[in-house]
Amino acid sequence: MEMVKIKVKRFNKDKDGFEEYEVPKGINVLNALEYINKNYHANIYFRSSCRAGQCGSCAMCINGEPKLACKTKVEDGMVIEPLKNFDVIRDLVVDRTPYYKKLANLRNYIERKEYPEDLENIKPDDINKVKKVRGCIDCLSCLSVCPVRKFTDYAGPTFMRQLARFAFDVRDEGDREKIAYFENLYNCTTCAKCVEVCPKEIEIVHHAIEKLRELCFKKGYYLKNHLAVRENVLKYNRSVEKDKTPLLEEVNEEYLVENEKMRVAFFTGCLIDYRLQNVGRDAIKVLNAHGISVIIPKNQVCCGSPFIRTGQTDIAEKLKKKNLEIFNNLDVDCVVTVCAGCGSTLKNDYKEKEFEVMDITEVLNKVGLIKYKPLDATVTYHDPCHLKRGQGVYDEPRKILKSIPNLKFIEMEVPDQCCGAGGGVRSGKPEVAYALGKRKAKMIFDTNVDYLVTVCPFCEYHIRDSLKKYKEENNIKKDIKVMNIVSLLSKVV
C-alpha cells in the first residue's frame, strides 16, 4: 500500500502545533483522520456526520482553503487545520455557538401574521428566486474566509444569504432588508471569495448581496456617498467627476496596424477616461505593439458596475442598454478592457451582448507575447477580485511578467486577498476599505519590490492610498510604485 505524509494541527491543553502522519494514498481526509486515530492512537478530534457532502459538519482548512473532508482526497504534504477565524475547541473542532446564536437573532423562519390563502398563486419564478440561495449546508466555509468579517463588524455572507432567502420568499412579511442594512450589508466588497470556496457553488454575491442591496435601495436603506456616485453618472455618464480632459476627447477613433493579428474595441471605463488617461494611452500603445488594431467608440458610457454592486439597478440598466447599442454593432474580434470591474460586468452582467469580452492580458497571450526589452526591477502582482474570481484570469498576467527579461517577479503572501476597494466600499465605507487595504499594504511592503502591478484602476487607486497611509503609520522609507500592467509593458515594448 502506497503511503503519503500529511500534517494535522493539534490543539488542546497539552498540545498546540502540527503532527505528521503517514496515511494510505487515495483515501479522503475524513478516512485519513479515522485511520490515524485507529493506527496511531492519536485521538484527534473532528466533526463528521453524513459523509456525503450534504451536512457540512466536516469542513476544515485543507492546504489553506476550507474544504469538506469527506470530499477531499489526501495528497502528499497536505496540511490540515481547523476552519480559520473561529475559536478552536479542540484540534479540528471549532466553536459554532456564535453562529447559531446569530442565526437565531436573525429570525430564521418565515414571518407573517396569517397563513396565506393564495398559496396556489405562487409562481415558478417566485420559487426560483429563493431556490438560488437555499442550497447552503452550514459548513461555514464562507465565514472562515470572508475578509470583511475578519476586520469589521459584518454579519458575513451566509447570514446575508439567509436573509435573502426570506426577503425573496413571497410568503415572508419580515423586514429582512432592514435587518441586512443594520448588519452592515454595505461592508461587503463583493470579492466573491465566499463563492469560490462554497462546496455547493452558491452565488452569494449576485443572488444575495446584490439583490438585497437592490431591495434596500428601493426601500430607502442606502449610503449617502453612493448617491454622489449616482449624481456623477447622471451628469457625466461616468461614476466620477470630470477634473481634466477625458481620454475619449483626446484620442482618435482608430489606431490601426499593418499585418493585423486582431482587431479590438477598447472599453475604457470611468477611471481610465476621466482620471488615468495615461493608462489608456499605454493600453493603445501596447496593443498596437502586439499587432492589434484598436477601435475606440467615443460615445461609450459607464459599464454600470458601481450601480449593480450598490443596488442602483435602475441606473445600471440604462447604461447597459446604451453600451449594448454601441458595441453590438461593431465589427471587431472582441471588446478589450483594462479594468477588472468593467470586464467582469461586461462578461457576466451583459447577458444580451453579441460580442466577446477579454481582459487585455488575455488578448496579449492569445495573439502571442512579443520580445520585450529588459527591465531591471522587482515586481509583485495583486489579483483584482473581479479579474481572478470574476473572470477566471490568473495565469495570463503572470506569464506576461515572467516573460520580461531581467524582471524579477515575487509573489506576495496572498496575492488574491481583496484590497478593500470593491462593492462600493471605498466610496461608502472608507474605514472598512482601509482596514482591508492595510493588510494588503503590509503584504506588499514585505516583498520589498519596486512595483506593485495590477489590472484594475480601483485597486490601483486604493492600494496606492493604502501604501501611503501604511508607510506613514509605520515610518517606512521605501517607495513602491503602483501601476496597471499596461503601464509597465509600455516601458518594454
DSSP per-residue string spanning 372-417? PPP--EEEEE---HHHHHHH---HHHHHHHHTSTTEEE---SSTTS
- For the entire predicted model, the pTM comes to 0.94
How far is residue 316 CA from its own chain's centroid?
A: 20
Q: What Cα–Cα distance (Å) separates residue 329 from each residue in 131, 196, 265?
A: 36, 34, 11
Q: Three-state DSSP class for 22? A: strand
- What domains, with CATH codes, occur in the chain? 3-94 (3.10.20.30), 97-218 (1.10.1060.10), 240-366 (3.40.50.1860), 371-489 (3.40.50.11810)
Nearest to 33, CA basis, from 84, 101, 82, 89: 82
Residue 343 C-beta-side C-alpha neighbours within 13 Å: 28
What's the CA gap between 39 and 26, in Å, rounded? 17
State the DSSP H helix or E strand holding residue 192, giving kind and residue range, or none if neither: none
> Contact 320/286 with Cβ under 8 angstroms?
no
In our burial notation (b when 16+ CB lie closer than 10 A, e otherwise), range 31-59 reads bbbbbbeeeeebebbbbbeebebebbbbb
Q: How many residues does this entry show for the chain? A: 493
Nearest to 310, CA basis, from 431, 223, 420, 193: 223
Query: Cα angle at 379 between 375 and 383, to 5 degrees?
Result: 130
Sort strands 377-381 and 407-409 into parallel, antiparallel or unpaired: parallel
> Contact 396/365 with Cβ under 8 angstroms?
yes
What's the CA gap between 382 and 360, in Å, rounded? 16
Each as own residue / partner, the long-range contacts of residues 2-6 (CB below 8 Å, 24 or more positions apart, any chain) are 2/26, 4/74, 4/75, 4/76, 4/77, 4/78, 5/76, 5/77, 6/32, 6/74, 6/76, 6/77, 6/78, 6/79, 6/80
Instruction: Read off the DSSP letter of residue 207.
Output: I
Sort strands 357-359 and 334-337 into parallel, antiparallel or unpaired: parallel
> Contact 355/327 with Cβ under 8 angstroms?
yes
* Tens place of pLDDT per residue across the chain (493 aa): 899 999 999 998 888 999 999 999 999 999 999 999 999 999 999 999 999 999 999 999 999 999 999 999 999 999 999 999 999 999 999 999 999 999 988 888 889 887 766 666 777 777 777 888 999 999 999 999 999 998 888 999 999 999 999 999 988 999 999 999 999 999 999 999 999 999 999 999 999 999 999 999 999 999 999 999 999 999 999 999 988 999 999 999 999 999 999 999 999 999 999 999 999 999 999 999 999 999 999 999 999 999 999 999 999 999 999 999 999 999 999 999 999 999 999 999 999 999 999 999 999 999 999 999 999 999 999 999 999 999 999 999 999 999 999 999 999 999 999 999 999 999 999 999 999 999 999 999 999 999 999 999 999 999 999 999 999 999 999 999 999 999 999 999 9
Q: Is the dihedral of CA 347, 350, 352, 353 positive or negative?
A: negative
